[in-house]
Amino acid sequence: MQYTMSTNGIPPQPSSHPAEAGGPWARRSMAAKVISLVLGTLIIAAALLLGIDVIRQPWMWNHYIEVPAPPRDISQQEILLREKLNNYEKSAEDLKSLVSLLLGLSSLYALSLGVASYFGVQEAKDRADETISGLTRLEVNARTNVQDYERRLEKQTEEVEKRIETEVLNVHRQFPLFRDMQESIQKIGNNLGQFVPDGDFGRDVFQKIDVKQRVMIEYFESSVAAFEFFDLQPFEKDVSRVYVMLGSYYSHKYAREATENRSDSKKNPPPDPADLERATLYLNRAHDVLPKSIAPLNELGYLYVIVMSQNEKAVDFLKTSLELQANQQRARHLMAIIEHTRGTEELSKGNSANAIPRFLESLKLLDYAIDKCTRWQATREHPRYGRALLYNRACALARLAELGIETVTYATRAMDDLEFVFPTGQEPEEQRVSDFRNDVKDTGDLCILLGIAATRKRLGALIREVLPSTLTDQSVCQ
Same domain, yes or no: 160 and 216: no
Residue 200 covered by a domain: yes
Nearest to 237 by CA among 297, 281, 295: 295
Question: Do residues 329 and 381 lie in contact, with contact meaning Cβ atoms separated by under 8 Å?
Answer: yes
Rounded distance, CA 340 to CA 111, Å?
106
Same domain, yes or no: 162 and 32: yes
Residue 444 covered by a domain: no
Rounded distance, CA 32 to CA 208, Å?
107
Instruction: Out of 290, 321, 348, pick the residue that ends a domain.
Output: 290
By CB atoms closer than 10 A (0-12, 13-18, 19+), residue 433 is middle
Please enumerate in sequence order all residues whose Cβ is within 8 A of that of 53, keeping only pairs 6 or more positions apart, or say none. Answer: 94, 95, 98
Residue 468 covered by a domain: no
What pLDDT does 195 receive?
67
Same domain, yes or no: 118 and 206: no
Residue 331 covered by a domain: no
Same domain, yes or no: 195 and 122: no
- Residue 178: what are its φ and ψ, rounded to 5°? -80, -10
Nearest to 245 by CA among 188, 315, 293, 309: 188
What pLDDT does 184 receive?
62
Rounded distance, CA 114 to CA 409, Å?
101
Same domain, yes or no: 194 and 281: yes
What pLDDT does 9 receive?
44
Same domain, yes or no: 62 and 169: yes
What pLDDT does 183 receive?
61
Q: Which amino acid is at 441?
A: K
Domain span at residue 61 reads 18-173
Same domain, yes or no: 114 and 229: no
Positive or negative: CA dihedral 259, 188, 205, 444: positive
What pLDDT does 168 receive?
61
DSSP class per residue in 194-235: TTS-BGGGTB-------HHHHHHHHHHHHHHGGGGGS--GGG
**For the chain, how many structural domains are there in total?**
2
Residue 335 covered by a domain: no
pLDDT tens digits, the chain, 478 residues: what are they? Answer: 444 444 444 444 444 444 444 566 667 667 666 766 776 676 677 667 666 766 666 655 555 445 455 555 677 777 777 777 777 777 777 667 767 766 766 776 676 667 667 777 777 887 888 888 888 888 888 888 888 888 888 888 888 888 877 766 565 455 444 445 556 666 666 667 666 765 554 444 556 677 777 777 777 777 776 666 555 566 788 888 888 988 988 898 898 889 889 888 889 899 999 999 999 999 999 999 899 999 999 999 999 999 999 999 999 999 999 999 999 999 999 999 999 999 999 999 999 999 999 999 999 999 999 999 988 887 776 788 899 999 999 999 999 999 999 999 999 999 999 999 999 888 888 889 989 999 998 889 999 999 999 999 999 999 999 998 655 444 567 5
Residue 194 covered by a domain: yes
Same domain, yes or no: 211 and 78: no
Same domain, yes or no: 84 and 217: no
Rounded distance, CA 329 to CA 383, Å?
12
Q: Kindly provide the residue ranges of all beta strands, DSSP E only, lying in 337-464, ordered along the sequence.
A: none
Cα distances from 236 to residues 4, 186, 290, 397, in angstroms, run 60, 11, 6, 42
Residue 439 covered by a domain: no
Instruction: Out of 243, 275, 290, pick the residue that ends a domain.
Output: 290
Question: Do residues 189 and 249 lie in contact, with contact meaning Cβ atoms separated by under 8 Å?
Answer: no
Question: Do residues 299 and 199 lie in contact, with contact meaning Cβ atoms separated by under 8 Å?
Answer: no
Same domain, yes or no: 169 and 191: no
Nearest to 227 by CA among 216, 244, 243: 243
Nearest to 455 by CA among 393, 412, 391, 397: 412
Instruction: Out of 173, 200, 224, pick the residue that ends a domain.
Output: 173
Same domain, yes or no: 262 and 225: yes
Same domain, yes or no: 113 and 53: yes
Residue 327 covered by a domain: no
Question: Do residues 390 and 370 lie in contact, with contact meaning Cβ atoms separated by under 8 Å?
Answer: yes
